[in-house]
Amino acid sequence: MKRVVIVGAGVIGLFCAVRLAKAGARVTLVEAEVEHARGPGASAAAAGMLAPMEPEPSTHEGIAFASLELWRRWREGAQWADGVRFDGGVVVARDAAGAGSIVHHAKRLGRTATQLSPAQFRKRTGLRAMTEHTLFVADEGIADPLRVMSGLAMQARAHGVLVAYGRDAATVSVNTVTTHEGEVYEADAVVIAPGVWASASMLAAAPALKHVRPAKGHLVSVALKRTLAPNLRAPDFYLARRREDVVLGSTMELGRTDRRVNPARVAELLAAAEAVFPGEVRGLDHSWAGIRPMSPDGWPMIGPTADGILVAAGHSRNGWLLAPITAEIISGYVFGAELPPEWAALSPERFEPP
């Protein structure tokens, strides 16, 4: 039986733990934060959008759609199933040319982006503004972060994962993880999923992590007059309805690691929504900031370092969307499966000099 230690219990680490345990590995998950803490990371602070269609073509875009399909498949019977919906997404383009580009992009991918009339837009979203150049994209969803993460932790334990919260990794090697509390976890494979919070030991063990940059993003809870089902994505903001709230996001400030809420950034978001939907999006007294782990090309680093430690990091804006495919790829590496080229192309070594 393969012994695997995973460092980091955000959505990436949790999905990896569940996937590996289901495949027969004996998994230990080590996390510095206590259970249910919001912490400084990206997972709990995110909106949880599952939106694979990027504005522009990308080498890795097939990975995003494959991960959405895993979300659909793995939700069946999962402890977190009630935290995920697939109601599609409505995209507000800047102009007719932008809308046409999205339709063309969708066709190239074998997907659909249907242009909406004003009446169809109002029916889909419940918003009354006379917005032009809108489209409906079926392949999109939303995951409620706190509900899904608590469900994933339950699922992990149900499959025999030892979940060690409040254990901060001090040193990491290819076969061991030692915590600041003095505990030593031995393994056949070590996976590090640290977000932007890689320690000096992790950076030494996985030099590619030095390419991960922090990006601060603000979100704010809002009230709408009518229920919003699909995600709504506009050029300067998005709206997403989760289980118990609707969130408006999101700003992007590269190089920032503080989570202090800047009222000016919140005001910018609210003003952007007001400009498109006047009088329809009311800010509530709850806003926050999270720190995203950004890679140089916006796509995650998944795979072994030169020394054999497995990395799952740098997911940028798509950590929630790409969590299932990340777990699938990590499982492939752990069990020595033959990986398709598009998985191997996400190697963390792609940023390192030859």
- In the chain, which residue ranges form alpha helices assigned H by DSSP? 11-22, 61-75, 96-108, 118-125, 145-158, 200-205, 263-276, 319-334, 341-344
Residue from 143, 78, 135, 77 nearest 101 by CA: 135
| Local confidence band at 313 (pLDDT 50, 70, 90 cut-offs) | very high
pLDDT at residue 206 greater than cutoff 50: yes
Count, residues in the chain: 354
Taking CA atoms, 348 is separated from 47, 89, 171, 305, 319, in Å, by 26, 31, 20, 7, 16
Work out the average pLDDT over 333-350: 95
Work out the average pLDDT over 89-104: 92
Tens-place pLDDT, residues 167-187:
999 999 999 999 998 999 999
Q: What percent of the chain has pLDDT over 90?
A: 83
At 40 the pLDDT is 45
Q: What is the largest CA-CA distance in the chain?
A: 63
At 54 the pLDDT is 81
Phi, psi of 52 (to 5 degrees): -80, -15
Gap between the Cα atoms of 294 and 212, Å rounded: 5
What's 168-219 look like in SS3? CEEEECCCEEEECCCCEEECCEEEECCCCCCCHHHHHHCHHHHHCEEEEEEE
Gap between the Cα atoms of 332 and 189, Å rounded: 12
Gap between the Cα atoms of 39 and 32, Å rounded: 9
At 38 the pLDDT is 53
Tens-place pLDDT, residues 133-144:
999 999 999 999
Gap between the Cα atoms of 189 and 6, Å rounded: 9
Taking CA atoms, 167 is separated from 8, 44, 235, in Å, by 10, 18, 41
Taking CA atoms, 9 is separated from 29, 32, 168, 192, in Å, by 7, 8, 11, 10
Residue from 11, 12, 110 nearest 62 by CA: 110
Return the domain boundaries, the chain: 3-50+145-211+297-351, 85-141+213-294
Please, what sign has the CA dihedral across residues 89, 95, 101, 103? positive
Average pLDDT, the chain: 93
CATH superfamily of 3-50+145-211+297-351: FAD/NAD(P)-binding domain (3.50.50.60)
Among the four given CATH numbers 3.30.9.10, 3.10.129.10, 2.50.20.10, 3.20.20.140, the one describing domain 85-141+213-294: 3.30.9.10
| Local confidence band at 284 (pLDDT 50, 70, 90 cut-offs) | very high
Greater model confidence, 351 or 37:
351
At 354 the pLDDT is 67
| Local confidence band at 299 (pLDDT 50, 70, 90 cut-offs) | very high
pLDDT at residue 312 greater than cutoff 50: yes
Tens-place pLDDT, residues 17-70:
999 999 999 999 999 887 765 554 568 899 999 999 987 778 888 999 999 999
Residues whose CB falls within 8 Å of the CB of residue 353, separated by 6 or more in sequence, listed in order: none
At 334 the pLDDT is 98
Tens-place pLDDT, residues 230-251:
999 999 999 999 999 999 999 9
Asked whether the beta carbons of 208 and 349 are under 8 A apart, the reply is yes
At 82, is the secondary structure helix, strand, or coil? Answer: helix
Same fold, 3-50+145-211+297-351 and 85-141+213-294: no
Tens-place pLDDT, residues 105-159:
899 889 999 999 999 999 999 999 988 899 999 999 999 999 999 999 999 999 9
Residue from 209, 211, 294 nearest 253 by CA: 294
Bridge-partner residues for 192, per DSSP? Answer: 7, 311
